[in-house]
Amino acid sequence: MEEQRYEVMHVLGSGNFAVTKLAKNTKTGELVAIKYIERGNK
């Protein structure tokens, strides 16, 4: 089983096309922001 690199903690903000979440690196404890961008239909 593959270990997860980041643990998502909570949502920082959202807009029309993306959601930004706070996450923690499971090995180093470093906090990062991850932006999830919605893909359009093609």
Binding-site residue numbers are 35
Residues contributing to the annotated binding site for ATP: 35
Q: 24: burial class by Cβ within 10 Å (0-12, 13-18, 19+)?
A: middle
The neighbouring-strand residues paired with 10 are 22
Residue that the structure tokens 């893909």 belong to: 39
